[in-house]
Chains A and B, each alone.
Chain A
């Protein structure tokens, strides 16, 4: 065994991790090569000295926990402050304004109670699954729909981890809430049912995106598709932060060129409702 090879085995020999054959060859080198033997003795001393690092006392500041939580609070506050207000305000006004808001916006939301409405209105839309949030197409627009036979809390957040913008408590009711984004740019909504993420959807803003090429995360791509093709996009991704490049060509994103930059799969499909589904699965 030459000196360079022997040095590569210093740690493994010291820690008893060498296979028998290599260990014997290493020991023969130690016996026959005084230079390697001297270096190994110095290495043994070093290993013992490194262990003394554990004895170095570190005093933890008493207010460490307060400093960390203050930093997180500041970050959360700044994030909320910079949120695009259009969509959030609209949802919040829906959640808080009740009947008056509905009148102003023109029946943008309906949470129907099983006991108060005609039974025909409770029949699920054909093909629509129960206990599942989905996008329903109606009169050229799109609505967030959910039907449950039991109690369920549906929460809408702005962005994946963003603030809550609407909350609906359902008791055997049907949620049918038109999606409307009054801000200029596309927005991502996260819809949770019983605190579990049920749907991520990018909703186009009032301005059309004209730039056909771009690069960013899957969330960015979902927003770009929504803005360019003027349709909501369901995002079904294990990693919404995965990087992707795109170039929109043809009539829809399903005809466009999408390239996953970190080796994962990315695809887009047109749903029967006319909305799109973007997936990394």
Chain B
């Protein structure tokens, strides 16, 4: 099974061969998890996203016609699972900021984390990678997905276009806008460092 091409495994899956599907999971789950982790920044969420994605792949396998590579299709599904997760998160975030927090010791004021950390806190982000990750986290979700696909997963414009179902020109212009946004965020962060 391990020596078989993805296309052959997919054909076997489409005939109901579960061991072929397990081989596809074994082959692609690590890369899928890393991509999901980079999107979510959280191990538990990354596991959920990858689990959801493979369930969707399993259910849709019969309709997969091979117009794109299996990996491109998988990226598309993982990205959709990530976007769905964030959509669900947003719909849950309805707690009033003024609400008091109930504790065993009585009520206490809810402490909300200030997203604009002071320069001293920012200085704790010692590594360059952390700083860039923090900046990427502030991008819109689809921009984040595009940046990860191009710069980390090393997908081509064509593959990203297929994965996100967008024209190549749109992928290029949106990637440029995402990079410009990153430049602004990183420049702002640098100024905070200097102030510190």
Given A45-B183, A50-B147, A61-B43, list of 4 further CB < 8 A pairs? A11-B172, A47-B179, A60-B33, A64-B30
Chain B 23-44, CB within 8 Å of chain A: the 1/0 string?
0011001100110011000010
For residue B149, give the distance in angstroms from its CB to the closest CB of chain A. 11
Contacts of A61 in B (CB 8 A): 33, 43, 47
Chain A 25-46, CB within 8 Å of chain B: the 1/0 string?
0000000000000010011011
A58 with B176, Cβ < 8 A, contacts A50-B151, A53-B148, A68-B25 known: no
Contacts of A47 in B (CB 8 A): 179
State the majority secondary structure of interface residues on A: helix
Q: State which residues 104-139 of B face A: CB under 8 Å.
A: 128-129, 131-133, 136
Contacts of A42 in B (CB 8 A): 183, 186-187
Please state if A53 and B29 are interface contacts (CB–CB under 8 Å). no
Which one of A69-77, A106-114, A124-132, A245-253 contacts B? A69-77
A207 near B: Cβ within 8 Å? no
Bound: A241/B59 CA distance, A: 12
A160 near B: Cβ within 8 Å? yes
Other-chain contact of B176, A8, A50, A68 (Cβ < 8 Å):
A8
A10 near B: Cβ within 8 Å? yes
A55 near B: Cβ within 8 Å? yes
Please state if B182 and A68 are interface contacts (CB–CB under 8 Å). no
Bound: A75/B54 CA distance, A: 11
Which of A45, A51, A56 gathers most chain B CB within 10 Å? A56
Bound: A45/B92 CA distance, A: 38
For residue B66, give the distance in angstroms from its CB to the closest CB of chain A. 13
B152 near A: Cβ within 8 Å? yes
Contacts of A160 in B (CB 8 A): 62
Chain B 48-74, CB within 8 Å of chain A: the 1/0 string?
001110110011011100000000000
B22 near A: Cβ within 8 Å? yes
For residue B33, give the distance in angstroms from its CB to the closest CB of chain A. 5
Contacts of A7 in B (CB 8 A): 176, 180
Contacts of A39 in B (CB 8 A): 183
Please state if A64 and B186 are interface contacts (CB–CB under 8 Å). no
Please state if B186 and A49 are interface contacts (CB–CB under 8 Å). yes
Show 17 A/B contacts (Cβ-Cβ < 8 Å), sorted by A: A7-B180, A8-B173, A11-B172, A45-B186, A46-B186, A53-B151, A54-B152, A56-B38, A60-B29, A60-B30, A61-B43, A61-B47, A64-B33, A64-B50, A69-B25, A196-B15, A240-B63
A52 near B: Cβ within 8 Å? yes
Other-chain contact of B180, A10, A71, A161 (Cβ < 8 Å):
A10
B175 near A: Cβ within 8 Å? yes
B167 near A: Cβ within 8 Å? no
Bound: A68/B37 CA distance, A: 15
Contacts of B173 in A (CB 8 A): 8
Contacts of B26 in A (CB 8 A): 65
Please state if A11 and B175 are interface contacts (CB–CB under 8 Å). yes
Chain B 164-185, CB within 8 Å of chain A: the 1/0 string?
0000000011011001101100
Please state if B25 and A65 are interface contacts (CB–CB under 8 Å). yes
B16 near A: Cβ within 8 Å? yes
For residue B58, give the distance in angstroms from its CB to the closest CB of chain A. 5
Other-chain contact of A46, B52, B58, B182 (Cβ < 8 Å):
B182
A71 with B59, Cβ < 8 A, contacts A46-B183, A51-B151, A60-B34 known: no
For residue B20, give the distance in angstroms from its CB to the closest CB of chain A. 12
Please state if A50 and B179 are interface contacts (CB–CB under 8 Å). yes
Contacts of A65 in B (CB 8 A): 25-26, 29
Contacts of B179 in A (CB 8 A): 10-11, 43, 46-47, 50
Other-chain contact of A71, B16, B34, B54, B187 (Cβ < 8 Å):
B54
